[in-house]
Amino acid sequence: MPDDSAHPAAAARPQALAAGRPAKPLSGRVAVPGDKSISHRALMLGGLAVGRTEISGLLEGEDVLATAAALRAMGADIVRETDGRWIVHGVGLGGLAEPADVIDLGNSGTAARLLLGILATHPFTSFVTGDASLRSRPMGRVITPLSQFGAHFLSREGGRLPLAVTGAANPVPQTYRLPVPSAQVKSAVLLAGLNTPGETTLIEPQATRDHTERMLGHFGATIRVEPDAGGARHITIEGYPELTAAPIAVPGDPSSAAFPLVAALIVPGSDVTITGVGLNPTRAGLIASLKEMGADIALENQCIEGGEPVADLHVRAGMLKGADIPPERAPSMIDEYPVLAVAASHASGRTIMRGLAELRVKESDRLTAIATGLAACGVRVDVAGDDLIVEGTGKPPAGGARIATQLDHRIAMAFLVFGLGAKQPVAIDDARPIATSFPDFVPLMNRLGAQFTKEG
């Protein structure tokens, strides 16, 4: 038969992939891609700053490339150098221009919600869309606070993309209290406040990842973070700052590091080091949870880069035990629950992961996807309200299932990791979404000794 892999339709076909138990323990020293959250913000704030921002270690996944394309469409000059550095020549705060075409943000909820924050206080009209997964996700929780600045939104039912946003010509500063923990909503409000006179204050009763606050300070914005008597954080941004270009070294993404980390824990005899991983305290919930489960994880070569703590993770396999993961930890590891559930399925005893409502509005309904996938692989699992309960036996789970990823990159990677420790191989229906956050996932895991094979 002729090779049709170069045919335009080939790229649109699902790419099934299977993972089985490797012949030998995983071993080696690897670096994961740059942090996705920091990469998005580096491009956005670099585009709003005055001058030349140099970014090293930028994640070059589809999500981040969509952010770069959106900013280019509004006038920012963004180029990738041959040595892998990215250079952003910003237009200055308020200097973005009306895009000539629809902005397509692919699969990226972070890009969509943060960019809507920027657009809400720029006085022109933009049209924003994404892929099928992104178009199914609710944007109402950013539309509500951003509308209070004076922006106008026209969206599909349920606040879904595609939508049109006309930014406020005379934005009004706001004080907004987050109804549920969300770093994306917080960031959208703070970014809207940049181009708004006076002070905008965001109140978060429960701390979420703070990359936006750290990076705003890095670019010269005036931002205050003050706790109140009840423990809530009041984050205040002064409008119309002179953002100044500043170099950024993007650390390794802890959400990406989670996959080789858990793989090393569940494949007997494994010894793996993951270098240069960002360990922001608002992102370190997975490591804390795994250590409570008995994981052997050592932090080596700890340092600070660009205001963010960084370390190498030295991981050795060993028996894990069940644990009770508290709901207040959820914001610091919300993207890591799929792979934590994989670790729990290989542990001894019951693991309860509490307060996971946020998982229902990710790239897929991750709470349901995790539970359905684990059950198909022979794991005893239950969803009680917003809690996920996994019963591990301390022995390798059965596996042998084919998992519907629902176009969700983290579900895809989590169940490939599952297959490395299961009795029978586990297949996923489509590996293409992995490229949104971790384009090098398969070759990196294969370098460690994983066995991933294409199906079909």
Tokens of 223: 């931002």
In this structure, what token pair is assigned to residue 394?
């301390």
Cα–Cα dist 255/285, whole Å: 11
Beta bridge mates, 201: 175, 236
Return the residue matching tokens 């992995």.
Answer: 434
Decide: 125 and 166 in contact? Cβ < 8 Å: yes
Q: Is there a cis peptide before residue 25, judged by omega within 30 degrees of 0?
A: no
Is 4 one of the annotated active-site residues of the chain? Answer: no
* Rounded Cα–Cα distance for residues 187 and 232 (Å): 16
Residue 146 half-sphere exposure, CB side, CA atoms within 13 Å? 35
Cα distance from N-terminal residue to C-terminal residue, the chain: 14
Looking at 131, 253, 312, 335, which residue is catalytic?
335
CA atoms in the 13 A half-sphere facing the CB of 412? 25
Whose CA is closest to 178, among 153, 142, 139, 224? 142
How far apart CA 285 and CA 355 sit, in angstroms, is 14
Q: Please, how many CA atoms are within 13 Å of residue 241, restricted to the half-sphere of its CB?
A: 24
Residue in this structure with the two tokens 């606070």, named with its chain if needed: 145
Q: Rounded to an integer, what distance in angstroms lies between the CA atom of residue 280 and that of residue 326?
A: 19
Q: What is the set of active-site residues?
A: 335
